[in-house]
Structure 1
Amino acid sequence: MNPFTFTQASDVDAALARLASGARPIAGGTNLLDLMKEGVMRPGELVDINGLGLDTVEEANGGLRLGALARNADTAYHPLVRERYPLLSAAILAGASPQLRNMATNGGNLLQRTRCYYFYDVGTPCNKREPGTGCPAKDGLNRLHAILGTSEHCIATHPSDMCVALRALDSVVHVRSQRGERDIPFADFHRLPGDRPELDNTLEPGELITHITLPDAARFRAHSAYIKVRERLSYAFALVSVAAALDIQSGTIRAARIALGGVAHKPWRVEEAEEALVGKTPGLETFGAAADIVLRGAKGHGQNDFKLTLARNTIEQALTTAARGTEYAKGEQR
């Protein structure tokens, strides 16, 4: 590991001053420290932001405000989250392990970097790690890689479960820097790779995530599901995951939300597919038609061709499960 300077920020302004000078924030460190140990990231300065007081979960304007430094476990088990946003609770509890959820923060979850094998192996080329060196995953080990939104420069996926639910729930990311504050719709926070795969998100230099807001989602509370397909039951990243939420009145779908993880460089959502469900009766034929819209343009790269079928089946399963009624997470340990 390269030597680095470590400082502790006493307040938000102090943290922003260090970020403006090029420091990188650290809170739980559950991803950043791994990247530093592997030599993938080599920050010259880390600033500890744990003491900034950005760790509350509270009501806000009819919705919910999630502090960036609230731990994933505390967020998932918070009474307001479990009662009003069971989809978010289920997604968080599907991720990582209890130990990691106890350390990882909400803001850090948004900033996770891909688990692509080549990105982590500094002995191989990787456009995300070193722009212009190539993407060996396209013709190499790509079982876990993207089938949507890829480019010739990168086929990596975003690893978060929490972010899939946040995308489905129309969340907003609130950030602050010495230049001021701004709000980023969740749809615009993460990037597709395009010709700049090294950029995971739209944060600007010196910006700090302070909190995330969710609008009122009462109409989806009774019919939501998070389905995650992975190669083992615990502590594994998704091959495909789906966050599904339905507003069903008198046997008819009035509104729908569908977001996918494990298939793209960012949580994937196609509003056209949701609109196609409105006015329809829940059922496999209806759900299959929506899945076909979500997966338009999907393309496998050899080892991950199976994801094309898996994604369609998982969308159908998630929507079917949601239509039956929300099942709160059970048996999870803190």
Structure 2
Amino acid sequence: MEKSEFDLIKSYFAPLASGYDEAFGLLNDAALISENPQASTVVTMDTLIAGVHFLMSDPAGDIARKCLRVNLSDLAAMGATAFGYSLSMAYNSQIETGWVREFTAALGEDQKRFSCHLIGGDTVVTPGSLTITITCFGSVARHQCLQRNTALVGEDVWVSGDLGDSAAGLKLLTKVLTAPEPEKAAHLIRRYRVPEPRCNLGIELLQRAYSRTAMDVSDGLLADLGHIAHASNVAVELYEDKIPLSAAFVEVMSGCPDQGLELAVTGGDDYELVFTSDPSQEQNIRELSAKLSLKLSKIGKVISGQGVQLICRNGEIFLPAKGGWTHF
């Protein structure tokens, strides 16, 4: 790295704070967040490590987008509108100034798209793997947010988008899978490298009161619905033929359909929203799907009991080898 810490901040990071006056151009030790008596601030933080959450061979811009977007996905799961984030980076010897330039340029593009600003952070050097931590700040109406512990027996279970694409994309990058068509491979790899946080969906679900319960699918559908079921003291029943899959995923996994189902519901890194809703809201949700141009699929029901079970097309209960991603 040919630039000093302060040169890097001045050249590449300080411009990302432009437009957020209380960041003071990143010249102070901390930023301010003005309090709003009508709103609650939502705070989330994710740490991503090279070789664990992304590959060092991934483009720097894609790494930047993923690091920000996984945090935005957490805000979406609360129904929050993002406004700022702080960034901590532990660099290693592989990182050069050109990499930082590409990384911050991508952050700048995403900031415009998602209407948020860098408001502070830290930069250090590490002998280990590149490590990036983002703390993201959002806003909701006072004491109002989507939660995990509010699912009720009788509610429908919905999920946005398609499942399994990201996990398949990683397997393509690591040569575990091969794709017959380059376009389909590119789609799956893009889904792994650059997730699409469902910010507008989360905001709409909360503000229109279509749902009280949501979570983003980061550890895998079964695992994350398991968190909802446990917190709400209910059970969830899912149906194989309702799980949404992309054409690219279906083609790549066509030779091993059983593995495909497992990958779709346990692979993780989807960053779609799974949520529950009263059956009376179904038409509203379908209209919201059209409004947002976003696939929303009804995939199951909240029932009495504990845990999550997936009913296969043949009526048997699906038993995966693992429930989803675990951090330890």
TM-score range, shorter chain: 0.3 to 0.5
Give the TM-score normalised by the residue count of structure 1.
0.32
> Larger C-alpha radius of gyration, 1 or 2?
2
Give the TM-score normalised by the residue count of structure 2.
0.33
Larger helix proportion, structure 1 or 2?
2
Greater relative contact order: 1 or 2 (C-alpha under 8 angstroms, separation 6 or more)?
Answer: 2
